[in-house]
Amino acid sequence: MRHTLPRHERLSSKKLIADLFKRGKAHTHYPIRLIYLPVEELEHHQVLFTVPRRHFKKAVDRNRLKRQMREAYRQHKHLITYKSPGDVHFLLGYIYIARDKNSYQRIETKILESLYRLKK
């Protein structure tokens, strides 16, 4: 399996994002919160990463945290990727909720925990 995050797996539709935040369910794995919504019409899982400007004023800090979350998800997305045609796909939203920066290892561990929980 290729460990990539192509454009069709990124959540960018404003309608789907609004739907995710309105009807989605959430799990918190501090410092990350996962909001997810199962959608049967999708062909792939779609994911969104966000870091609030309220906690990190500098764009460099926000971009670094988003890059770390994307990398951790990209490395471990195979845990929720299935090949069966009848499988339900998810809209996923990862929100960084801590007020301080954490190491990549901690972020990776928490994303891994969230994927295992989502798999159940």
Given this model, what pLDDT does residue 1 score? 61
CA distance 44 to 30: 26
The secondary structure element, H or E, covering residue 118 is helix 104-119
pLDDT at 96 over 70: yes
Average pLDDT of the segment spanning 8-36: 95
**Around Cβ 95, how many Cβ atoms within 10 Å?**
18
40-84 tens-digit pLDDT:
888 889 999 999 999 999 999 999 999 999 999 999 988 887 666
Secondary-structure class of domain 8-119 per CATH: alpha beta
Rounded CA separation 120/79 (Å): 11
24-33 mean pLDDT: 95
Q: Describe the strand order of the beta sheet including 89-96 as a list of residue ranges.
A: 25-29, 32-39, 89-96, 46-50
Rg (CA), the chain: 14
Q: Where are the domains of the chain?
A: 8-119
pTM: 0.91
